[in-house]
Chains A and B, each alone.
Chain A
Amino acid sequence: MEAVAPPAPAKTQDRVVTRQYKEPRDWAKWGLSIYFVIFLIFLYAPMILMAILSFQGYYGGVTFPFKGPVSLQWWRSIFQEQVGNQFTNAEAIRAAGERSVWVSLAAGAIVAALSFSLSMAFRRRFRGDGLAFYIILLALMTPGFLLGLGTQIFWKAMGEETSLWHTALGANTVWGIPFGFLVMVAIWNRYDDHIDEAARDLGANAATTFREVTLPLVWTGLFGAFLFGFTLTWNDYDRTVLLVLDNTLPLQIVGLIQAAALRPDLYALGTATTLVSLAVIVFFLIILGVRSRFRRTPVQSVEEELGLGGGIDAEAAEAVVEG
């Protein structure tokens, strides 16, 4: 009986089913999308307005209306010592920029190295690890201004002079270490310890395993930690202001505010430092993207690093490792 039934009714039924499951329009989603756009405007509008005003002409002020003609005059004034017949702050800005770059690079390197070694210690439980973790959290939670103040007092009490390299660098790395540490911990949480074990079982000693297997797999985390150290120091004011006489770029920006007349060169400098920060993140994201495209499986990299390319059936080995 049923075998003779024509297929047409089945089709109708299908149509009915699809109609039944049609989702109602998600109005909450549309409302929240609009809200998200407003949120982005709230976040970015000040910086965009600042960037627009940095392209004003000679009579440009610090608020709208935009006083043309559109020119690069204020951008030139942060790089050239003389624009037209006006002397600029370019010399001080260049010196501050140079100091900022070097101290940020140093902070990035220190943060990467220390947060890596700290995270290595935290791969196993050890006595006092709870307290140790709270100390790292304390570094995250201490307001920058208090840390700068404490460092100032500590060095004064020891009778030492504070300076960019002796104290401001250290105070800035303290702010970067917890971020770098958390990045590395996230990396280790996803890291399969069996890979190390496999390398060791294949005869590699501890140092070789570390150098040839572990490091190549976690270097993006290291790079992330470096970037935290770099950008946080590059942008810092509160930790640095009490400690140094030689300006870094954020101190130089505040210096321009305190100058007699506010000019758009302040906006050009602010936009320039922001662009450097954003460029650094974009660079990091590009590297992450490139890396994930050429990503090898852990077993493949173990093989390669140990010069065993093709020696092991990768899938079978992976199954063993996983099992």
Chain B
Amino acid sequence: MSSSSPDGPEPVPHLDIADIKADEAEVEAEHERALGVQRAARKEKGQGLITFLWALPGFVWLGFYLLAPLVFIVLMSFWTPDTAKGFVKDWTFHNYGTLLHPFSLNNAYWKDMLRSAQISAIAVAACLIFGFPVAYFLAMKVKKLQYQIALFILALAPFWTSFITRSVAWAYPLMGSHGALNQFLVKIGVSSYDHPLLDTQFTQLSVQLAMIQLYILFMVTPIFFLLAQVDRHALEAARDLGGNWWSTFREVVLPQTMPGIVIGSIFIFVLTMGEYGTVEVISQGAVTTVGVYVHSQIVGTQYPQGAASAVLLVFVLILGVFAITRFANLRDEI
């Protein structure tokens, strides 16, 4: 109908709609702006203070129960031993002198340190070798999520039970010449009670095996979480490009799980190096590790010497962690 009048009022309704749209947009924008200002105001006002207040109690607590004790181990290691009070606050290097003296390199402390390092290194390697297939199975081969979660919880549950109780269960019913393991070996004819195939009666071997059993979950868990995130399409692509099982594993799976392996290794290394109670229970005092050594000094109220031994242990731990992190750049990965 308006086609007959080309210069008629046709543009007007057009403009009107545009106007209405513009108005709507303006109102909308105004609304958004108001909300935005409101939100910005909420964000700005005292946000730093609120964050500070949230962080305060936790860090006061950690300062008192974590940092202060660690600082005081260092301070105590420079104080002078005293037979009556345990220590007096006179500064000295003597506590380190006895430990670091060149002729003391074969004394009990360093022997125990070496034994701990050996147990710890073997535990890390064994946990990796025996734990990786477990994580791989859970992450790659169990397809249904419910089963995956259920089996993972089943594998993880012992973490929430006492390491001391697990050590008791390890050392007494299972290990030793009359323990279940050796009785089984005798039954199948490869061992005897007088000369057991594996001497596990309160021995270093028993401690070594127990460390693997107690700590393997610390390796399985981080590897599992990273394997679960590996892109399945990347695996297919690798296979389509002609990669066999091993090259796919080495080029695709392993690089992506490296951070998990490193985290697990750090955990197991640090925690087994500092282990005390489980070693005492499993070996009944027959195996002395650096933890046992330091403990005996503290129980004997040789606080400064014990503190110096502990500081050197921490130093060794830091060196070890540094060496392990060489295998993967964690900063980039996380």
Chain A: residues with CB nearer than 8 A to chain B?
26, 28-29, 32-33, 35-36, 39-40, 42-47, 49-50, 53, 62-64, 110, 113-115, 117-118, 120-122, 124, 126, 132, 135-136, 138-139, 141-147, 149-154, 156-157, 170-171, 173-174, 177, 197, 200-201, 206, 231, 234-238, 241-242, 250, 253-254, 257, 262, 266-267, 270, 273-274, 277-278, 280-281, 285
Which residues of chain B from 142 to 171 have a CB within 8 Å of any chain A CB? 151, 153-155, 157-158, 160-166, 168-170
Residues of chain B within 8 A of A136, CB atoms compared: 62
**Contact A171 B86, CB 8 Å, known A117-B57, A143-B270, A177-B58:** no
Cβ of B54 and Cβ of A149 under 8 Å apart? no
Would A152 and B298 be within 8 Å (CB), given that A63-B180, A132-B59, A146-B274 are in contact? yes
For this complex, 20 residue pairs linking A to B, each with C-beta atoms less than 8 Å apart, are A49-B169, A50-B169, A62-B173, A64-B173, A64-B180, A121-B51, A135-B59, A135-B62, A143-B274, A143-B317, A145-B274, A150-B310, A153-B69, A156-B86, A174-B62, A201-B38, A236-B162, A257-B168, A270-B165, A273-B162
Q: How far is the CA of A33 from the CA of B137 in the complex (A)?
A: 7
Q: How far is the CA of A36 from the CA of B280 in the complex (A)?
A: 30
In the complex, the answer to whether B73 meets A150 with C-beta atoms within 8 Å is yes
Is B137 a contact partner of A118 (Cβ separation < 8 A)?
no
Instruction: Let me know if B64 and A53 touch, CB within 8 A.
Output: no
Residues of A within 8 A of B75 (CB): 157
Shortest beta-carbon contacts, A-B, top 6:
A143-B274, A150-B69, A235-B162, A121-B55, A46-B169, A170-B65
Given contacts A35-B137, A153-B72, A237-B164, contact A139 B62 (CB under 8 A): yes
Q: Which residues of B contact A174 (CB under 8 A)?
A: 61-62, 65-66
B280 — which chain A residues lie within 8 A by C-beta? 254
Query: Is chain A's interface secondary structure helix, strand, loop, or mixed overall?
Result: helix
Across the interface, do A46 and B174 meet the contact criterion of CB distance under 8 Å?
yes
Residues of B within 8 Å of A, CB-based: how many?
A: 87
Partner of B183, one of A64, A146, A149: A64
Contact B73 A149 (CB under 8 A): yes
Enumerate chain A residues within 8 angstroms of B86, measured Cβ to Cβ.
156
Q: Which residues of B contact A273 (CB under 8 A)?
A: 161-162, 165
Q: A32 to chain B: which residues have CB within 8 Å?
A: 133, 136-137, 141
Q: Is the Cβ of B66 less than 8 Å from the Cβ of A43?
A: no
Whether A142 and B62, one on each chain, are in contact in the complex, defined by CB atoms closer than 8 angstroms, is no
Could you list 18 further interchain pairs (A-B, Cβ under 8 angstroms) beyond the known A147-B66, A150-B310, A281-B160? Answer: A36-B134, A43-B155, A43-B213, A47-B158, A62-B173, A117-B55, A141-B266, A149-B298, A149-B310, A153-B303, A157-B87, A237-B277, A238-B276, A242-B298, A253-B165, A254-B280, A270-B169, A274-B162
Whether the pair B66, A44 counts as a contact (CB closer than 8 A) is no
B70 touches A39 (CB 8 A): no
Report yes or no: A149 in contact with B294, Cβ–Cβ below 8 A: yes
Instruction: Chain A residues near B151: list those with CB within 8 A.
Output: 36
Chain B residue at minimal CB-CB distance from A42: B213
Which residues of the partner chain A approach B264 to less than 8 Å between Cβ atoms? none
Distance A233 CA – B124 CA, assembled complex (angstroms): 25
Q: Are B62 and A63 in contact (CB under 8 A)?
A: no
Q: Would you give the shortest CB distance from A303 to chain B, in whole angstroms?
A: 19
Closest to A228 in B: B160
| Interface contact A62-B172, CB-CB below 8 Å | yes
A253 pairs with B164, CB closer than 8 A = yes
Q: How far is the CB of B273 from chain A (nearest CB, A)?
A: 7
Q: Which residues of A contact B35 (CB under 8 A)?
A: 201
CB distance from A30 to the nearest CB of B (A): 9
A135 and B66 contact, Cβ closer than 8 Å, known pairs A152-B298, A257-B281: yes
Given A42-B213, A43-B213, A146-B313, CB of A151 within 8 Å of CB of B65: yes
A150 CB contacts on chain B under 8 angstroms: 69-70, 72-73, 310
A280 cross-chain contacts in B, Cβ below 8 A:
160
Contacts of A267 in B (CB 8 A): 168-169, 172-173
Partner of B162 from the list A62, A149, A234 (CB cut-off 8 Å) is: A234
Cβ–Cβ contact B173 & A200, under 8 A: no
Contacts of B275 in A (CB 8 A): 143, 145, 238
Q: Is the CB of A146 within 8 A of B65?
A: no
B62 near A33 with CB under 8 A, answer no
B60 to chain A, nearest CB (A): 9
Q: Are A118 and B47 in contact (CB under 8 A)?
A: no
Given contacts A150-B72, A153-B76, A262-B172, contact A235 B161 (CB under 8 A): yes
Chain B: CB-nearest residue to A172: B65
- What distance in Å separates the Cβ of A262 from its nearest Cβ neighbour in chain B? 7
Contact yes or no, A49 B70, CB < 8 A? no
Q: Contact: B134 with A154, CB < 8 Å?
A: no
Which B residues touch A266, using CB under 8 A?
168, 172
